[in-house]
Amino acid sequence: MKGRIDSTKKTKQITGAMQMVSASKMSKAEQNAKGFVPYADKIQEVVASIANSNTDVQHPMLTKREVKKTGYLVITSDRGLVGAYNSHVLKNLMNTIQKRHQSTDEYTIIVVGRKGYDYCKKRNLPVSNSIIGMADHPTFADIKDLASETVQMYSDGEIDELNIIYNHYVSAISQQVTAKKLLPIENLHEHGAVNNDYEYDPNQEQILEVLLPQYAESLIFGALLDGKASEHAASMTAMRSATDNASDLIDDLSLTYNRARQAAITQEITEIVGGVAALE
């Protein structure tokens, strides 16, 4: 019993330390996610201004086409001990696939994180691209190749639709599984009106040709930052729960140990009293 109490105390120390580390990482990740918002909003505003202008601006990323093959970009973690962070995302992915597709030829998966990669490989799901070993605080350089290749898949017609599934950071104790369509880009009229203050050189079409891929890549990077903040928050919550459970277990074991010790002491006293009585 004492051995179990000691081992549980050591486990509690480990989970407590991991909780503090996750809290520190979450704070930085939350700052990164919020710091990226102004850039994302501004590029969205410029793209929306051009797309909503009266000119006949056309671009494949703005054009909806018949969906023959769908791409799913899934953001998971590389490590465990994050509660239901990964399972919720992967469950959403599987439910979507089962609902929408009859064959593996109808979709492909782009995975960020070892947990998602291993999950898809074990189930023989088609994975066309992946990143394993993403930093706790990723930069755009870490995701640029994957993002540009994914956007290029749409431009080349390899996929006709791109969806992203990840955990949206709501608060330190709340993360919400989010699934949304990235390509084709729709509903830009909701994000910005025509801004006549902009002057375009050489012309709007060429600027849109450059901005739209960057805009799509920024959406992917923003989702990754959001997902990382959620991952560290989920880890912090899981470690806090583990620490609390260890404390409860220590209390229960200590109570059981004290009762057993008291029973042994009582037994010894009874035997001594009985022995003295017998001598008299």
Give the CATH fold of the 13-238 domain. Pyruvate Kinase; Chain: A, domain 1 (3.40.1380)
pLDDT at 120: 94
Mean pLDDT (whole number) for 142-163: 90
Statement: residue 165 has pLDDT above 70: yes
Q: pLDDT for 239-254, tens place per residue?
A: 999 999 999 999 999 9
Q: Cα separation of 267 and 63, whole Å? A: 85
Tell me, what's the pLDDT at 163?
94
pTM: 0.84
| 164: pLDDT strictly greater than 60 | yes
Alpha helix (H) residue ranges in 101-185:
114-122, 140-155
pLDDT on residue 193: 55
Q: How many CA atoms lie within 13 A of 184 on its CB side?
A: 15
Per-residue confidence band for 114, with pLDDT thresholds at 50, 70 and 90: very high
Mean predicted confidence (pLDDT) in 264-274: 85
Which residues are bridge partners to 183 per DSSP?
162
Q: What is the reported pLDDT for 189?
A: 61
Q: What is the pLDDT of residue 31?
A: 92
The answer on pLDDT for 221 being more than 90 is yes
Q: Is residue 168 a contact partner of residue 226, using CB atoms and an 8 Å limit?
A: yes
CA angle 185, 154, 134 (to 5 degrees): 90
Query: CA-CA distance, 145 to 132, in Å (whole number)?
Result: 13
Tens digit of each residue's pLDDT (9 = 90 or more) over 28-62: 999 999 999 898 888 888 887 777 765 566 677 87
Q: Where are the domains of the chain?
A: 13-238
Strands 127-131 and 70-75: unpaired
Q: How many residues does the chain have?
A: 280
**Which of 83-92, 99-108, 169-178, 192-201 shows the lowest mean pLDDT across its residues?**
192-201
For range 199-223, the mean pLDDT: 83
Give me the mean pLDDT over the 202-211 stretch: 78
Please tell me which residue, 188 or 256, carries the higher pLDDT value: 256
Question: Taking 90 as the threshold, does the pLDDT of residue 267 lie above it?
Answer: no
pLDDT greater than 60 at residue 231 = yes
Q: What is the mean pLDDT of the chain?
A: 88
Average pLDDT rounded to a whole number, residues 157-174: 91
Asked if residue 209 lies in contact with residue 57, where contact means CB atoms within 8 angstroms, the answer is no
